[in-house]
Amino acid sequence: MTALPAKQGKTTARILLDWAAVITLLLCFVIFTLVKGRSFMSENNMINILRAMSITTVFGIAATVTMSTDGFDMSMCTLASCSAYVFVSMYLWYGLSLGMSIVVSILITLIMYQLTMFLILVCKIPDMLATAALMFVHQGLGQWYIGGGAVSTGMRLPNGNPPVRTTLSADFSAIGRAPWIIIITLVCVLLAYILLEHTRQGRYMYAIGGNREAARLSGINVKGYRYLAGMITAVFIAIGGIMVASRTSSAQVMNSDGYLMQSLAAVFVGRSVGGAEKPNAIGTLVGALLVSTLENGLTILAVPYYMLPAVKGGVLALALIAAYAGKKENN
């Protein structure tokens, strides 16, 4: 339902390029199925793909909301690591209920995001630079809180006290397993989709992203909505961090940091899906699905693990070339 402009004389080539990411995705499915048959196209493996996709998608959704206002956050995954430290420590060290641990983790993430917003909106530092600096701040603060080591079962607190809980409940682990991890992800995508496409606030965010000055002169409170976008981003960041912690049954040091690039890749691939021309929730889902399908299929094809990044990067680059090549605006 992204409002597709009824451009006259849209060429077949343009249509193909608009749907390049989806076509690539379908091609991957066809090729992997033809080559590997049931070992790829099985119910179990499809769930594998969806599960692998989940975390990338949630971080991608966080980035999508930021980018809808033409913002950018390089520090989202380092912040997610902090959310995970808080989440697991609340649960294990202090014995909070699972629900309360989640709530506290989201709240702390929101509080930490005030610093991001302060640097960007008050100090007016360009997003990219401010969040690059914040990556270090997050890493430092987070590790200071956990005392430099992981938060996992059987470990003592940094001050030597024993933890309140020594085991993780089934519910804790369920967050990181199918079907819940997939359900949570799809709910996140749906919420972001409704926010961006069907609410007034979402349209304002896109208006700001499309033309900040025109939005300002239309009477949109630009700073206010950039702040709101930041807060929503922070919630998705926390959810991502919690999912990572649950999946790894602990909060390992910097365990979310590595998701940044593939999440951004998912957003960039998704930007052009269906000719939307802006970061959008459904596109991000497609992008993340493409990334995880590739990874899964190539592994089944027994491509050595150390070759995976190169092949993955290559296919992503192709999808991006298809999406951005031949645009008049690019000069």
Partner 1 sequence: MDKITLGTRNVSVAFPGVKALSNVDFEISTGEIRALVGANGAGKSTLMKVLAGANPSYTGEVYENGQVVDIRTPLAAKRMGIQIVYQEVDTALIPTFTVAENVMLNETILHGRGMMNWHKINKQAREVLDRLQINVNVKTLVQNLSLAQKQMVLIARAIQSKCNFLLLDEPTAPLSDTETRELFMLVRHLRETENIAIVFISHRIGEVIQICDSYTVMRNGEIVDTTAITPETTSREIVEKMLGRSFSESFPKEETTIGDVVLEVDNLSGADGKVDGVSLHVRSGEIIGIAGLVGAGKSELCKTLFGAYKATGGSIRLHGKELRMKIPSHAVKNGLALVPEERRKEGVMVSENVAFNLSAASLRKHSVASFLNRPSINANAKRFVDDLGIVTPSITQVVKNLSGGNQQKVSVGKWLAADCSVYIFDEPTKGVDVGAKREIFHLINDIAKQGNAVIYASCENAEILSITDRVYVMFDGRVTAELVTKDTNEDEIMFYAVGSEHASA
Total chain residues near partner 1 (CB under 8 A)? 30
Asked if 11 interacts with partner 1 (CB under 8 A), we say no
Query: By C-beta, is 229 or 251 nearer to partner 1?
Result: 229
Residues 207-246, one symbol each (x = binds partner 1 by CB under 8 A, - = not), give x--xx-xxxxxxxxxxxx----------------------
Within residues 122-151, the interface with partner 1 by CB under 8 A covers none
Q: What is the DSSP string of 209-239?
A: HH-HHHHHHTT--HHHHHHHHHHHHHHHHHH
State how far the alpha carbon of 107 is from the alpha carbons of 102, 236, 239, 306, in Å: 9, 12, 11, 38
**N- to C-terminal Cα separation, the chain:** 30
The CA distance from 71 to 169, in Å, is 38
Closer CB to partner 1, residue 178 or residue 231?
231
- The torsion of the CA quartet 261, 116, 82, 194, rounded to 10 degrees, works out to -70
* Structural element, H or E, at residue 29: helix 20-36
Closest distance to partner 1 from the beta carbon of 210 (Å): 5
Nearest to partner 1 of 30, 214 (CB atom): 214
Interface of this chain with partner 1, residues 190 to 209, rule: CB under 8 A: 198-201, 203-204, 206-207
Min dist. Cβ of residue 70 to partner 1 (A) = 12
Of 206 and 259, nearer to partner 1 (C-beta) is 206
Structure tokens at 240: 């991502």
Q: Give dist(CA 199, CA 109) in Å, integer.
A: 24
Q: What are phi and psi of 239, to 5 degrees?
A: -60, -45
Q: Which residues 254-293 are close enough to bind partner 1 by CB under 8 A?
A: 277-278
Residue 276 Cβ vs partner 1, minimum distance, rounded to whole Å: 11
Contacts with partner 1 by CB under 8 A lie at: 3-8, 198-201, 203-204, 206-207, 210-211, 213-224, 277-278
